[in-house]
Chain A
Amino acid sequence: MRTATVPAPRGADGVLVGERSLAAVRVEGVSQTFERVGPAVLDGVDLTVAAGEFVCLLGASGCGKSTLLNLIAGLTRPSAGRVSVVSDRPALMFQEPALLPWLTAAGNVELALKARGVGRVERREEADRLLRLVNLGGQSDKRPHELSGGMRQRVALARALAQDSSVLLMDEPFAALDAITRDVLHEELVRVWTEQRLAVVFVTHNVREAVRLAQRVVLMSSRPGRIVREWSVDLSQPRAIESPGVGALATEITEQLHQEISRHAQ
């Protein structure tokens, strides 16, 4: 089903899609400026994410990590450089669940299926299956306001999975949740990732969260956004956020992050 190398051109200028390779996402020399003479938000960013790889983009405010994610999602075009994505339309999760309040949990998931042209009967079945996958089996007919923040974010995850993309982009999806719920959702996400074999690009400013989740942590500098350094995380999943292995690497990365931030002090 999820053939990672099927060419699927997006057709937008500067955004080439479907190069035959094992990379799910390939960002080459990408720069982004929003005003003609303004400072670069992103400056010469290179990033390759392999099929099925879990990568966390880490950085302080203003490092352009959300901008980079929007570029990969195809919502904006780069000022310079190339972005190629194996999937026609990568799934994207925001910090807010962004569920449509007039639809039920199942209705929200079905909307993504409908956009893909899935038939009515299959939509219902597939939505139920995806909600069961995120442990919301009995909640299909609840409306978003009847669900807790963590449950809404899981419905959003189910909706993203309903896009049946091999690339899942996540823009600080757990930043607004309490610590207990976040822990549980980390567990959930890793389980889903393991089962579905997705390439995940996860943006966060939380170092421990990055180490807890990712196979590779990429640190970005701010203004302009550049890739400073990356670490591969050789700890087996599932790993606990409070485990010493996660703590040690998080300490190292935090040190580097603080150095980067200090450069802006004047």
Chain B
Amino acid sequence: MPSDLSGSVRTRADVDQPRDAELAPVAPDRSVEAGLDALDTAASAPARRRPWRTLTHSVLPPVVFLAALVAVWQLVHVAGLKPSYALPGPADVAATFWETVTDGRAMEAIWTSISRGGIGFAMSLVIGTLLGLAMWASTWLRAAIGPIVSGLQSLPSVAWVPAAIIWFQLTDAAIYTVVLLGAVPSIANGLLTGFKQVPPLFDRVGRVLGLGGFSRIRLVLLPAALPGYLGGLRQGWAFAWRSLMAAELITYSPSLGQGLGQLLNIGRELSQMSLVITAIALILLVGVAIELLVFAPLERGVLRRRGLTTDR
């Protein structure tokens, strides 16, 4: 009670002396501002991740899961639910895997497929980016081909394999055609989505600062569209890789280099299930490796710089 009273008395005193309040305004002291800044930003200092936490949270779970998967596989194999030519045990597959790696066939197939994938993806990157830019620049073009490009995204590109073989016979050109038709729509659409998601305010900022049309695109719009574009590239690569495997699986010819898809096909023709599983594992490994080594760090870097991720 007494403290309440003294509080109200002080307030009255202020009101009674307006002159003083005018002459002594709130402190123009910049330490108030500096103090606020410190209070507002201190809490957001990033906590350092401990190495053991990475181990227990990122490395351990998939390892445990894989071990469990192999254990179940071994159990099913021992139980004899399927004849062993249809389901060889983990040890047989491991032996074939090792043999394929040591006799050089695995490296040859991986190299052939990755170089095809890389070249196909690079071509898709150029074409898809140009297409995306053109569709963004011209509303007429967007209206005209937008639905077709989106539709192509959901068409499995393996559907193009017969057409590509009729056009280009069993050549690399047939393979690249299928890869391009798989990846280009994703990349073009990704760039377009990136542009559409740029806040209109950014364009106004560019105009207020006096940036002309071209500088505004280069310095404001393109960097702003980058996250969407990267998403498109990532999806484009996934589609390119799938299309490539489908194409390699079907366009089997001695004149073509032997990629992972062709390795898979050899396994099928020889009815050698351990080679089939080996090829599938290799295809999966390459896909995961590219994702982890190229796209994930790229995307994480961009998002982190813009404060769009919470690292947890």
Contact = CB atoms under 8 A, between A and B. Distances in A.
Contacts of A243: 18, 21-22, 25
Given A92-B208, A100-B205, A100-B220, A187 B26 contact: yes
Contact of B202 (A92, A100, A147, A242): A100
Classify the interface of chain B: helix, strand, loop or mixed: helix
Contacts of A89: 208, 210
Given A98-B202, A244-B15, A238 B25 contact: yes
B21 A240 contact: yes
Given A75-B207, A94-B201, A238 B44 contact: no
Contact of B209 (A102, A111, A180, A245): A111
B133 interface: no
A238 B202 contact: no
B5 interface: no
Interface in B167-209: 201-202, 204-205, 207-209
A252 B204 CA distance: 36
A198 to B, nearest CB: 16
Nearest to A94: B201
A257 interface: no
A151 B40 CA distance: 9
A102 B208 contact: no
Contacts of B201: 94, 96, 98
Contacts of A98: 201-202, 204-205
Contact of B307 (A73, A112, A146, A244): A146
How many chain A residues sit at the interface, stated as a range, is 35 or more
B36 to A, nearest CB: 6
A112 B211 CA distance: 9
Contacts of A159: 209
Contacts of A143: 305-307
B18 A244 contact: yes
Contacts of B224: 100, 102
The 5 A-B residue pairs whose C-beta atoms are closest, nearest first, are A145-B307, A148-B40, A244-B18, A101-B306, A240-B25
A48 to B, nearest CB: 23
B21 A187 contact: no
B37 interface: yes
A183 interface: yes
Given A89-B208, A101-B305, A159-B209, 5 more contacts: A89-B210, A102-B226, A135-B34, A147-B41, A184-B36
B209 to A, nearest CB: 4
Nearest to B208: A92
Nearest to B30: A135
Contacts of A181: 36
A223 interface: no
B33 interface: yes
A240 B36 contact: no
Contact of A184 (B25, B33, B41): B33
A191 interface: yes
B33 A111 contact: no
A204 interface: no
A163 interface: yes
B228 to A, nearest CB: 13
A188 interface: yes
Interface string A127-165: 000000001100100011111111100000001000100
